[in-house]
Amino acid sequence: MSMRIRLTAAPALAAALLMALGTAQGSELPGAEPPGRSDPTQRAILSSDGFLSHHPDLRYRMQGSRAFEDGFFNDALAHFKRAARHADKPSQAMIGEMYFTGNGVEQDRALGYAWMDLAAERAYPAFLALREHYWAQLSEAERSRAIEVGQDVYAEYEDAAAQPRLERELRRGRRGTTGSRVGSVGNLVIELPDGPGGVPMQVRGDQFYDRRYWEPTEYWAWQDEVWGAPLRGRVEVLPLRQSDDDTRSGDDRREAGDGSPR
């Protein structure tokens, strides 16, 4: 059983990330577009049990967000790691934040940086900024250790290892319900028990099985669209401003071999 711990106040960055991840109150869809670009039908689809059962990245991220908000930090970390195993970059960022700040877990800034470096693997601007912010705060010893511990993190959770896990689930979910014929979903009618206001609603098969939610290539492109743009001010950490004694960017450090845990 997980011990329940309450902190007096969550760091602002953790709160901002949770807003972006999707809160327990459902003010933000797990993995949906920014506010104003989603509609009630889309929100109902993405939060339905049938959808989430084959999207473990979103399912575990949502469960992690709820556990974190309720103060069950061990559970939150476990859920975020399950989402991270399915290539969920926001969950990887939240793990990095928890370790770096010691928010609900034992603080380990080197490990926190390694996770945030992984979250920035696809060059999503918010996570790149956070990675640079973390790096600037590390001591030389912590930087060396971040490179060391990052090897195991990348081996298990980088896209090359994690994306195929999710892709198998996406294909399994579509095949199991539609008989694997891509063009056969248009005549389906799917009932969602929790529509807007908790009222059941029906959606067309081509809405529920929109290719961007189920075809791996289009799914990753959709994720890039969602997270490739800045998080509209929710994460207020700016990219690292270089000082006189630290003039190389994170990318330069990567090329020199001294700034990446890979």
pLDDT of 252 reads: 42
Q: How would residue 256 be classed by pLDDT, with cut points 50, 70 and 90?
A: very low
Which pLDDT band, with edges at 50, 70 and 90, does 24 fall under?
very low
In a domain, 100, yes or no: yes
Q: What does the angle CA 113 – CA 119 – CA 9 come to, to the nearest 5 degrees?
A: 65
User: Does residue 135 have a pLDDT over 70?
Assistant: yes
- Which pLDDT value is given to residue 47? 86
pLDDT score for 203 = 87
Residue 178 has pLDDT above 60, yes or no: no
240 close to 247: Cβ distance less than 8 angstroms: no
Question: Is 240 domain-assigned?
Answer: no
What is the structure's pLDDT at 176? 63
For residue 197, pLDDT over 80 is answered with no
Mean pLDDT score, 131-157: 97
In-domain check, residue 99: yes
Residue 21 pLDDT level (bands cut at 50, 70, 90): low
pTM: 0.76
Tokens representing 25? Answer: 């109150």
Task: Say whether pLDDT at 206 is over 50.
Answer: yes
179-201 mean pLDDT: 70
Pairing of the two strands 201-204 and 189-192 = antiparallel
pLDDT class of 185 with cuts at 50, 70, 90: low
What does the mean pLDDT of the chain come to?
77
Instruction: Say whether pLDDT at 50 is over 50.
Output: yes
> Which domain covers residue 68, as residue numbers?
12-229
Residue 29 maps to a domain:
yes
* pLDDT tens-place string over residues 61-114: 999 999 999 999 999 999 999 999 999 999 999 999 999 999 999 999 999 999
Structure tokens at 207: 């809405």
Q: How many domains does the chain have?
A: 1
Mean local confidence (pLDDT), 22-31: 40
Residue 224 lies in a domain: yes
Does residue 241 fall inside a structural domain? no
- H/E/C letters for each residue in 99-160? HHHCCCCCCCHHHHHHHHHHHHHHCCHHHHHHHHHHHHHCCHHHHHHHHHHHHHHHHHHCHH
Determine the average pLDDT of the residues in 144-170: 97
- The Cα 109–Cα 48 span in angstroms is 36
> CB 181: neighbour CB atoms within 10 A?
9
- Asked whether residue 217 is domain-assigned, the answer is yes
Higher pLDDT: 145 or 185? It is 145
Backbone phi and psi for residue 259, each to the nearest 5 degrees, phi listed first: -135, 15
pLDDT digits (tens, 9 = 90+) for 226-253: 888 655 444 443 333 333 444 344 444 3
The residue that leads in pLDDT, 177 or 148, is 148
pLDDT, position 244: 40
Comparing 28-32, 81-85, 108-112, 157-161, the range with the smallest average pLDDT is 28-32
In a domain, 6, yes or no: no
